[in-house]
Amino acid sequence: MLFAFTEADSENFVDIDVPQWAWVVLLVAVLALLALDLWRHRHAHEPTFREAGLESLFWVFCAVVFGGFMFAQFGGQAGGEYFGVYLTEKSLSVDNVFVWALLFSTMKIPLKYQHRVLFWGIFGALTLRAIFILIGSELVERFSWVLVIFGLFLIWTGARIIRHREDEGEDSSTAGLKLLKRFMPVTDDFDGQKFFTQLDGRRAATPLFAALVVVEATDVVFAVDSVPASFGVANDPYILIAANAFAIMGLRAMYFLLADARERFHYLSHALGGILLFVGIKLLITPWTHIDIGISLGIIVTILVLAIIFSLWKAKQIEEASAHTH
């Protein structure tokens, strides 16, 4: 057999004994933070750049605090894997942000209503990711060679993303909207922040609910990429779910911070593809060698930093060239 995984290979990832109360702590923390976020944005308004920046810092702070809990309760290896998954998921989620910006622009969703759509979209994403992770964990535990399939898939996906495909998520958005229209009418007009309204005496979806369906459809596409990537950094369900939860909850703030910055980060998609390639290769070589979580984190951070540096340099070159032409 080409890829002979043994039980010893699972020792490359930490295996923690998670008490029931730790699951309760995670669930309460996630629900409390979601409730706080929903209360803060109970009134529709257009978030400012400063507000989005402060909220982004708050979500990162929450993730770091929970990471401290992981270190204290389960040790350095578990804490390192938590931050590795968090950073990987956060990085890969940048493409979500840019696709959401495109979708909201295409569907003409006012900025003041976008947070409501993203809140419930991310609530659904949390549930979806948890299901994917639990299924993936069961598959990996029963059939360790599944990691090889994940690795090959990530390498293929990383190569595709490096080619800088601009339309990722558009097919799923069109499909999601068509599917919704098969089940109920969709109005052209908004009814405040409502997802449903009345149209000719019938219950109908507003453009906000249509946007929510599209956001969920695109998240399915992105989850297919990001969940296998998480398994390249950790295998324990608690670590995977916790890291994914804190990464995803901060996406709304990151969206309002970065939605209009796609042109300034030209090489970011290439970096995301590079991260997927690295994680895919890491999975494939697991039977023979293990890359320490500290080295993995260093490689992921280096890829992201270089992408940001070269992107800003390219943006500056374009601005200077534009200034000279004028």
Tens digits of residue pLDDT in 131-186: 888 888 888 777 777 777 777 877 877 777 676 555 554 555 555 566 677 777 77
Q: Say yes or no to pLDDT of 285 above 80.
A: no
CB atoms within 10 A of CB 138: 12
pLDDT value of position 143: 72
Q: Say yes or no to pLDDT of 86 above 90.
A: yes
Q: Say yes or no to pLDDT of 29 above 90.
A: yes
What residues contact residue 137 under an 8 Å CB cut-off, 6+ apart? 235, 236, 237, 240
* Mean of all residue pLDDT scores within the chain: 79
Dihedral, 277, 245, 56, 254 alpha carbons, nearest 10: 50
**DSSP codes, 29-85:** HHHHHHHHHHHHTSS-----HHHHHHHHHHHHHHHHHHHHHHHHHH-HHHHHHHHHH
Q: Say yes or no to pLDDT of 297 above 80.
A: no
Tens digits of residue pLDDT in 307-319: 878 877 877 777 7
Between the alpha carbon of residue 80 and those of residues 23, 83, 87, 143, 273, the distances in Å are 19, 5, 10, 25, 22
Question: How far apart, in whole angstroms, are the C-alpha atoms of residue 319 and residue 324?
Answer: 9
Nearest to 210 by CA among 102, 98, 99, 109: 109
pLDDT value of position 9: 46
**For residues 172 and 218, is the Cβ–Cβ distance under 8 A?**
yes
Q: Say yes or no to pLDDT of 263 above 60.
A: no
Nearest to 157 by CA among 58, 39, 52, 281: 281
pLDDT value of position 242: 95
Between the alpha carbon of residue 158 and those of residues 11, 45, 83, 272, 321, the distances in Å are 26, 37, 21, 7, 31
**Where does the pLDDT of residue 2 fall: very low under 50, low under 70, confident under 90, or very high at 90 and above?**
very low
pLDDT value of position 57: 93
Residue keyed to tokens 């796609």: 262
Amino acid at 189: D
Under DSSP, the state recorded for 196 is E
Between the alpha carbon of residue 53 and those of residues 48, 57, 257, the distances in Å are 9, 6, 6
pLDDT value of position 48: 78
pLDDT value of position 240: 93
Q: Say yes or no to pLDDT of 82 above 90.
A: yes
Question: How far apart, in whole angstroms, are the C-alpha atoms of residue 162 and residue 80?
Answer: 27
**For residues 300 and 84, is the Cβ–Cβ distance under 8 A?**
yes
pLDDT value of position 243: 94
Question: How far apart, in whole angstroms, are the C-alpha atoms of residue 281 and residue 273?
Answer: 12
Q: Say yes or no to pLDDT of 280 above 50.
A: yes
pLDDT value of position 5: 42
pTM of the predicted protein model: 0.76
